[in-house]
Structure 1
Amino acid sequence: MRYFLELSYHGANYHGWQRQQNAHSVQQEIEEGLTRILGQETVITGSGRTDAGVHAHFQVAHFDTSSQLPPDQLAYKLNAVLPDDIAIAACRPVREDAHARFDAEVRGYHYFIHQKKNPFLRGQSYFYSRPLDVDLMNEAAHKLLGRQDFESFSRVKTEVNHFECEVFKALWYFQNDQLVFNVRANRFLRGMVRALVGTLLEVGRKKLTIEDFVSIIAAKNRTKAGKAAPPHGLYLSEVNYPNHIYL
């Protein structure tokens, strides 16, 4: 039987989502927890990677098991053995061919910035005190919409067949005392959102014009874009699937 796990995590204590040698990962913690509960080695596949220090309000991973343990009991038991910075929201049965990564139709991220010093947001939001023209940042963000090549915002050494993504939403807005960037797309390249945020902040400081930003997209060259924003302000927040994969 195949299941989808819906979960969240605070990424500060982890070297990203993906299991790797000599580094602590979210995937490793969950796999070890499932293996302990199910009594058999269990491997999970996530909807995508998050880098070291990046958080998730909503992540999805699939796994297979022959256990007859009801999904709600499995989620309960898994939460009991996982550390406090990882939480399972649901365990849902899906079709045998459902895939957490390849069946995802839309993914979404939020990036949080606070501009007044706040000790309670430390490690959860990027403290950026310089004045920003948010209207200008939104004008630039609008240029991201649609299907185009985002190589300028991708990690240089990354194994992908192409750099095209279709962006459905890219918007800056204020939420309480924070400035938030919400971006939704069919897929994201490694390091893409943090590179976008770092470059859009330069637009907001008027170090780059809208024309400069458009030229950076067209350049397909990571060295032309801005410095990546810090990981602790970034949250994977949305992964959507077609309804037919759920049982």
Structure 2
Amino acid sequence: MAVAKKTVAIIPPQMKYDRHVRVEQKTLRVAAYCRVSTLLEQQEGSYEAQVDYYTEKINSNPNWKCAGIFADDGKSATQTKKRDDFNAMIDACMAGKVDLVLTKSVSRFARNTVDALQCIRKLKEKNVPVIFEKEGVNTMESGGELLITILSSQAQEESRNISENTRWGLTRRFENGIISVNHKKFLGYTKDDDGNLIIVPDEAVIVKRIFREYLEGKSIIQIAKGLQDDGIKTVTGLDNWHPGTIDKMLSNA
């Protein structure tokens, strides 16, 4: 009687986080997350400054390889589901493409305490630390989660106050006929010297393609995959199109 062969699955060991070696001295794939909190024009410089800072910081370390600069401009901090690049970064971490995440502060990462802790715990399970530079917190270090809980709770309350003040300010601007439109990540449009929106022809072709393919019956996942397969980059220069981005474009959200 023939003996059935056993099928053995080999599961590679998961690398453990070594607290005794400084992150600057480790060979790591490093990603950074940047965000400004409102759509007000005067904050665009802060967004660009964060992107430039982390690009230089990562590339200047010979032990590090840039795994992406993920940036949400003018997106809500209270709900991570509204931030496409944030979600893309988390997906990259969970897929094993990122070893370390850098961000400016807790308020840049998330002002919703529950969201912040859920994401941090997911990343800890993958041994991916998040370093908050302003607070000097490494989520893999002792006491990191407690500090994040306290700091993100404070940031959540601060966000509520800022949101109310920003809403009041925008309402007054609208009453005076002044409309603030952030065009930095506005596919298909830019602004002229007078601040008027104008069409970018090359980007308009992509926008028309997305709407045409949707009307032809393609799903947002199929549209995103088609753009990636054709080597078309997102408005922020990324290779991967997040289906949520397509969905928001189609719904004008």
TM-score, L = length of structure 1: 0.27
The structure where strand makes up a greater share of residues is 1
Higher helix share: 2
More relative contact order, 1 or 2 (CA 8 Å, 6+ apart): 1
TM-score (norm 2): 0.27
Point out the structure with max Rg over C-alpha.
2
